[in-house]
Chain A
Amino acid sequence: DGGITQSPKYLFRKEGQNVTLSCEQNLNHDAMYWYRQDPGQGLRLIYYSQIVNDFQKGDIAEGYSVSREKKESFPLTVTSAQKNPTAFYLCASSIGGAGQDTQYFGPGTRLTVL
């Protein structure tokens, strides 16, 4: 089955700790995205990557970092610099960067700061 997997489903972080969220896709998509979802806020773009070894900041990149060493993988690290990391994180991918391409979403990771 082709799709996007995110792990873990639930993640708990202590204050001052860095954590990494995994996103893997086997759709052979070039473009990948990370969004953050807060209640009543919709989804906001953290980072995006249109091609391997290249990525760009989105609207709320502060306190986050990413890498894109392989086409199928786009991990997100939530650093201790992120002041309010508790949220639902969604990874998405699309064939390329064309406007009409559909974005497909993973099942999400819920991060809670203890």
Chain B
Amino acid sequence: AQSVTQLGSHVSVSEGALVLLRCNYSSSVPPYLFWYVQYPNQGLQLLLKYTTGATLVKGINGFEAEFKKSETSFHLTKPSAHMSDAAEYFCAVRNSNSGYALNFGKGTSLLVTP
């Protein structure tokens, strides 16, 4: 089975500072990994995904993530935080045993302070 673990349920950064949200995965097969963002009382929006190929993946809103097989990690970064980045972020891995549904981490709430 595939699973992900998000380290840190809450992360606080200053506006303009680096954003780093951590995600580690466990998978017996090559993983397909995703990062989603959720604003309060809304659905999830895809930020980026890794399937195959280039290990550095660029997404929307200036976010990127690097797939590191040796570290089983898929951390999300953004060089400079904006106030509008404050939201809940979810890392997910495709579950090949459940119709390719997603197995989600518990989420990381990002707070951006002025």
Contacts and interface: CB of A to CB of B under 8 A. Distances in A.
A48 B101 contact: yes
Interface residues of B, number: 28
A43 B83 CA distance: 25
Contact of B100 (A6, A94, A108): A94
B43 A42 contact: no
B99 A31 contact: yes
Contact of B98 (A48, A92, A106, A108): A48
Contacts of A40: 9, 106-107
A44 B49 CA distance: 19
B63 interface: no
B17 interface: no
Interface of B: 9, 32, 34, 36, 41-46, 49, 51-52, 90, 92, 94-96, 98-107
